[in-house]
Chains A and B, each alone.
Chain A
Amino acid sequence: MAAAPPAFTGNLKKALAGLRRINLDGLRWRVFDAKGQVLGRLASQIAVVLQGKDKPTYAPHVENGDMCVVLNAKDISVTGRKMTDKIYYWHTGYIGHLKERRLKDQMERDPTEVIRKAVLRMLPRNRLRDDRDRKLRIFSGGEHPFHDRPLEPFVMPPRQVREMRPRARRALIRAQKKEQANRAAAESAKDEEDSKTAKAEVKV
């Protein structure tokens, strides 16, 4: 019950859309914080929770996944050059109309769509997919209108980060050394200025 102002009256409708359609509320509300998470790895965890595959009462014909609330969607990160180079393609159906959009532009337009696409494409394509989509609520900021529900934060499982390849590691070390050199140069420049001003004061 934080002092989070109900600051998104416009999106409130979208956030609460179709809540009535979702049947059982024996479901938990899991909160995912996307800040600093890698896009695909977060999305696969969300997809597992959304299908209800982390419950021992899983049944493939029944939709029993938990409600997933994702916060800070605009702070999601991707590795490599995907920010500029990952392109979403879609075809409108008319001949020659293959449209594309880059991740960067999509994040500017609507950062929630990035996560939503990632998760939806990880769910099995069956009749339960739309219901699962309805259970997924994504917010680009950190505020959501669900404060009166019993929310449970989701702890991401520990990740095994792959060891850096030698060339990448060398590049990283070079970049660090460069930073240190720059910082040292900046400090020495500051010291010179300070000493100059000190001399000026002394003279005066």
Chain B
Amino acid sequence: MGSPAAEPQHGGENRQKNHLVFGSCSRYLQLWHGDDQRQRNSDVRVVGVVQRNQMRSQFTVPTVEPAAQNQLTLGGAVRRPALSSASFSRGMQTVTLIPGDGIGPEISTAVMKIFEAAKAPIRWEERNVTAIKGPGGRWMIPPDAKESMDRSKIGLKGPLKTPIAAGHPSMNLLLRKTFDLYANVRPCVSIEGYKTPYTDVNLVTIRENTEGEYSGIEHVIVDGVVQSIKLITENASRRIAEYAFEYARNNQRSSVTAVHKANIMRMSDGLFLRKCREVAENYKDVKFTEMYLDTVCLNMVQDPTQFDVLVMPNLYGDILSDLCAGLIGGLGVTPSGNIGANGVAIFESVHGTAPDIAGLDLANPTALLLSAVMMLRHMGLHDYGNKIQTACFDTIRDKKVLTKDLGGNSKCSEFTADICRRVQDLD
């Protein structure tokens, strides 16, 4: 390794050969994977990164617990490798809770109350994530939060606000980088009782979360011409494809569809497609199809029932997952999970912080609650997950105590109390 204290050397023939684009690629990878590998030789730096990517979390799956027969599963991802099964003993399991900003604290309290009523074996460890400047000038999350997450491996996160012009990247981005959260999973299931023009939606969008169009590498070539770089790598594509097929297998999903635009972006989406096809060879029990992004959009708004699991790169995933969230009623009722390397998983609500209703007991905790249910399924606690989900859906179907965004005018605490009551009745 080069001396970390030295300034980057810009001389040398190697550098000159690297034209603007390649230099930016290396810089991106450096930013992504941390500057602890400050090699002056760009080639070695990139290869070093590729080697690090090889350290994927194991996907060896022991026996799968069947999901409840009459419930639509809202998650349940990769099973844990055997070595960390100690943390899934019959006792209490620790989950790092990040309440967030705005309405975050009140919806987190609501979720904790409901879990208490359900007597779920979860011990919450509340942590705050505000960006702090670590040694070396890099922004990072507080070390106690990181340590807690590394220990418990599961996190539940409320909405985090992104201050504009704060000098540091958004908190979500920081979390993503710290724990290498490479897959964003969003199960979109129509909620009975919350009417939208689309009924019978039951699909899952799995989006690659680390690269693609959101690499943030942009340059002004000449005044008035901007180039933005979309990065697709073999390892990231293979990793997300494997996760998608594992998810499909573990959740009894029949097909996986890769969404791409390889007719136009032949090399990049072509690489993504090739990796998906390769991985599909190992999962013959799951049907694999490929579809253009525009065809998916067209068919999604006409007949969403034809889709099952969708896997795609970052930008398409962003657009499609929000499209699907819109089909079932918006971000206020959509759960979401982020799966990382080394078995880390952070489940979150994807709506905003809603500062205008913060502290007024008007917030809707459904999104965070459904994400927590997804988390329970991920941990293998299907019974508790189903119980809480049933209670939540029953409350919404009943329409007696609904928060304002669901069409009622009850308070958050009343909504929560109703769900708690139902959970206790279900026991």
To the question of whether A and B form a pair in one complex, the answer is no
